[in-house]
Structure 1
Amino acid sequence: MFQIFTDFASWLIYDLLGLSAQTKLGDAMHFFVEDVTKIFALLLVMIYLIALMRASLNVERVRDYLAGKPKGLGYLMGSGFGVVTPFCSCSSIPVFLGFTSAGIPLGITMSFLITSPLINEVAILLLMSLLGIKFTLLYVLVGMSVGMLGGFFLDAIKAERWLQSFAAEALKRGQQHSTANNPDDIQTQALSMSQRHQFAKTEMFDIFGRVWKWVIIGVGLGAALHGFVPDGWIEAHLGDGQWWSVPAAVLLGIPLYSNATGVIPVMESLIVNGLPIGTTLAFCMSTVAASFPEFILLKQVMQWRLLAILFSLLLVAFTLVGWLFNAFTPFL
């Protein structure tokens, strides 16, 4: 299915530009062109198709529906909604405020906020094409589990008391409003096929416009790792599965920032170069969901204590996930 992209990269790099496949530069450039063209094609086609199916989704109705459900189901649905919404960690925050204003418990909202940057339909498609369906399913399961358990823990410690005052007031007003109104009274207006097409087209260009640069950066880093890192270097330093390599990878990812789309080519290259799957997963999750830029934005709606709790929770979760995957990878 993807042979056309391999052939195009070979024609451009080896035939047209005259680079040799035996050189590090030629190998890296071939990797870069093949992955960029393949990812861009997947983005344009699949975002359009998925947006077409999502065109009738009414976010207000989703909020009110979630607000009236049991906590356990709410965590699952909040995390699931994070999977099907293609937001990065920064663009998820306005939706977080919308959920809070709707009176949805903070734990359910946090299940969404944690899961959304980790998993989206674009990331799932890219993972499936690059690393296969088994790893993709495991990644989705782990990402949703981290979101749900994080939401449960934050509800258990009543973390809403550490929201900024305006966000806490919005949550309180939303809860009072949700008890005074019946969510079933909300009407969802059906869209015509023409309107759905317009929505899908706009969504396609909007999402592509936001993520293409991260694809370039991510694939560029992946190509550099693939072509220029000496064979065995990564495996020699972090690839033996030492216990400390997982928390080290998590800490290394914090100063960086990417989204799930941009980090996946890096993930692929790290695994190819010998880094264990668990260590790679811990590094990439930290880069996507525990980066400094996200926490700078979250400071606008959370007090320092809640930020510190969330930050520590994510670091511990990603470290445990890394150790777990490294331990069970031989049996997968």
Structure 2
Amino acid sequence: MRSASLDQFRKSQGTWFGGLAVAAVLWFALYGQLQPFARWLVAQLPIAPGGHLAASVEFFFYDTPKVLMLLVLVVFAMGVVRSFFSPERTRTMLAGKREGIGNIAAAGIGVVTPFCSCSAVPLFVGFVSAGVPLGVTFSFLIAAPMVNEVALGLLFALVGWQVALTYLFFGLSIAIVAGWVIGRLHLEHWLEPWVRQVRAGAVDLPDRQLGWTDRFEAGWDAVKEIVGKVWYWIVAGIAAGALIHGYVPAELLSGIMGADAWWSVPAAVLLGIPMYSNAAGIIPVIEALLGKGAALGTVLAFMMSVIALSLPEMIILRKVLSLRLIAVFIAVVGCGILAVGYLFNALFS
């Protein structure tokens, strides 16, 4: 009986490895043909070649399958990585950590753990009830949505490794410093009363060690869940990027979002806060803005504000934070984003 179970396990694991190898070959073969296909498709349409409309349509037909294919690849890979973590295990890893080291650990863990706005409240309550300091909790809350693996993977593939590493380093720096500052302010009394009364519960860790079959299935589940939820945001973002790419003059955009306009960075942050999007949806817009000559610092500030300071997330966090604490959170993170924007505009202008 045991031998039959072992044979079945080996068969299923071998099927996954074989299927993934075939899928990887097909993925790279298709990816290499996306741009020629987009050009051919535009040539078949009744559109004047070389015009604004042709440029926009080609951008849309090329970027849509490209970003979706990259998203599937990145989400699957990180779904496998995430199978080594769980909310309970993350909570245990951060519980009892002192500020400083705890802020660094929380920001780093936030990059690879599952997090979205809808899970902000249960995660926040779980961390606080487990004894995780408030500042450490905020480092996690800032890093998890802002410096997520989807954004890093797409930035690396679409814009380049320099921008991706810049985003990673300064995003983590904002999360660490902002969390530390909030912790130094000792604002626990600004939590909602019911949150302060919550006491730590038992932490349930997985009873069994996951095998590679389980981890691959977790990766595929992540693809179905995440891509199924964000694909329409991606298409909307690419459509906006296509309009920018085809119709917005480079001179106009560089004048509005260029390094010479001192007000461009705070304007980008203020514009980004009320927007509701995610990393996958906003990055095609970022790609188009950079291609049109917008300043790197201004574009990064815009992206970070959309992802880390979105109005919907603030509304959700209102369930556990007082308005004063939310205001402090926005002010501290906003100052960090402004500093990144001005610094990069000064360095790369």
What is aligned with 1:210? 229
Unaligned runs of 5+ in 2: 1-27
Letter in 2 for 1:302: L
Distance 2:343 2:117 in 1: 25
What is aligned with 1:230? 249
Letter in 2 for 1:216: V
Match status 1:278 vs 2:297: yes
Deviation digits for residues 239-269 of structure 1 (CA, Å, limit 9, x no counterpart): 2422222111111222212111111111111
Letter in 1 for 2:167: Y
Distance 1:123 1:244 in 2: 26
SS in 2 for 1:232: helix
1:230 Cα deviation from its structure 2 partner:
2.5
Letter in 2 for 1:101: S
- Superposed counterparts of 1:259-298, under 5 Å: 259-298=278-317
Asked if 1 retains the 8 angstrom alpha-carbon contact of 2:124 and 2:137, the reply is yes
Distance 1:217 1:85 in 2: 26
Structure-2 change in CA distance of 1:294 and 1:205 (3 Å):
same
Q: Which has the larger radius of gyration?
A: 2
Letter in 2 for 1:109: T
1:186 Cα deviation from its structure 2 partner:
5.8
What is aligned with 2:3? none
Distance 1:138 1:240 in 2: 17
Structure-2 change in CA distance of 1:227 and 1:91 (3 Å):
farther
Distance 1:81 1:188 in 2: 22
Deviation digits for residues 307-328 of structure 1 (CA, Å, limit 9, x no counterpart): 1111111221111110011111
Unaligned runs of 5+ in 1: none
Structure-2 change in CA distance of 1:214 and 1:25 (3 Å):
same
Structure-2 change in CA distance of 1:283 and 1:49 (3 Å):
closer
Greater displacement, 114-123 / 42-51: 42-51
Alignment counterpart, residue 46 of structure 1, candidates 66, 70, 74: 74
SS in 2 for 1:255: coil
Distance 1:130 1:186 in 2: 38
Distance 1:153 1:239 in 2: 31
SS in 1 for 2:85: coil
CA RMSD of aligned residues (A): 2.1
Asked if 1 retains the 8 angstrom alpha-carbon contact of 2:266 and 2:338, the reply is yes
Identity level (%) = 40
Letter in 2 for 1:212: W
Deviation digits for residues 115-142 of structure 1 (CA, Å, limit 9, x no counterpart): 1111211111110011111111010001
Structure-2 change in CA distance of 1:299 and 1:195 (3 Å):
same
SS in 1 for 2:115: coil
Structure-2 change in CA distance of 1:312 and 1:192 (3 Å):
same
What is aligned with 2:175? 147
Letter in 1 for 2:135: G
Alignment counterpart, residue 58 of structure 1, candidates 86, 90, 113: 86
What is aligned with 2:321? 302
Match status 1:25 vs 2:44: no
1:18 Cα deviation from its structure 2 partner:
4.0
1:187 Cα deviation from its structure 2 partner:
6.4
Alignment counterpart, residue 277 of structure 2, candidates 211, 235, 258: 258
Match status 1:312 vs 2:331: yes
What is aligned with 2:104? 76
What is aligned with 1:321? 340
Distance 2:61 2:110 in 1: 30
Match status 1:243 vs 2:262: yes
Asked if 1 retains the 8 angstrom alpha-carbon contact of 2:276 and 2:306, the reply is yes
What is aligned with 1:122? 150
Asked if 2 retains the 8 angstrom alpha-carbon contact of 1:56 and 1:190, the reply is no
Report the TM-score, using the length of structure 2 for normalisation: 0.86
Structure-2 change in CA distance of 1:294 and 1:149 (3 Å):
same
1:49 Cα deviation from its structure 2 partner:
2.4
Structure-2 change in CA distance of 1:119 and 1:27 (3 Å):
same
Match status 1:107 vs 2:126: no
Match status 1:8 vs 2:37: yes
- Superposed counterparts of 1:88-103, under 5 Å: 88-103=116-131
Deviation digits for residues 288-323 of structure 1 (CA, Å, limit 9, x no counterpart): 211221111111110011011111112211111100
Asked if 1 retains the 8 angstrom alpha-carbon contact of 2:237 and 2:281, the reply is yes
Distance 1:323 1:188 in 2: 49
Asked if 2 retains the 8 angstrom alpha-carbon contact of 1:93 and 1:113, the reply is no
